[in-house]
Copies of this chain bind each other. A is one copy, B any other.
Amino acid sequence: MISENGYVLIIYKDKRYFKKIEAGKSFHGIGGVINFSELIGIDYGVRYGSYEIYEPTLEDVIMYGLRRETQIVYPKEAYHICFKLNIRNGSRICEVGAGSGGLTCIFSRMVGPEGRVVTFEKEERHYKNSQKNILRFVEWNNVDLRQGDIMDFDENDFDAAFIDIREPWLILDKVRSFIRKSAYLGIIVPTANQIIETLHALNSGFGDIEVMELMLRRYKTIPERVRPEDRMVAHTGFLIFARKLGD
């Protein structure tokens, strides 16, 4: 049920709007006006004039709700990362580079109320923005956002770690010391040069190294003319995975 101060996803043809429902306010779009007071108390999943109004999923939050100050990890990679890192109810996860906090929100959902996500962000500006996003969208109180350089921290026994910074090769040994044996390390980098540097730095303390990319291709949905969309996102990042091997 749509409630005051809750969020809605409004769809009009190809356009999507992520909005907070405040009584007395309204939405003015090319499909007409939506008076928010009329929505309060009715079910999500409803047509309103030429709009469709849904309960936002976590993907909607990441794509349309998050305030972005950095390049984000897109859902298609985020989902793959979560499972590859074997994150589950109760996991303790370390993230280096909170960025805008989008992946943090996804990790938070995956580990559930009993789990824990510790995330490091060096840049004050990104720290503050991700803090706001996390406070606004995280479902459980299970995120520990820390400002600073991971090299100044000591942790251990994490169930997995993920790195999203420009030079992951500089912190591989440190992050390795944070995670338990057999645990997965995941890394995202946009360029082939960074893959090369990272592979050079992944020494014998890691095994089962994988490098991959995911491509999502969308299709038009008119049943008489099924065909791929004309254009697609061709690149977001390369994913690198490895598992910690004991000393």
Contacts and interface: CB of A to CB of B under 8 A. Distances in A.
Contacts of A215: 214-217
Nearest to A225: B191
Interface in A189-247: 190-193, 195-196, 199-200, 207-236, 238, 243-246
Contacts of A225: 190-191, 193
A208 B245 contact: no
A14 to B, nearest CB: 11
Q: How large is the interface on A (under 10, 10 to 19, 20 to 34, 35 or more residues)?
A: 35 or more
A66 to B, nearest CB: 15
Contacts of A106: 83
A22 interface: no
A235 B245 contact: no
Nearest to A109: B88
A192 to B, nearest CB: 4
Interface of A: 11, 43-47, 52, 54-55, 57-59, 75-76, 78-80, 82-84, 86, 88-89, 106, 109, 112-113, 139, 180-184, 190-193, 195-196, 199-200, 207-236, 238, 243-246
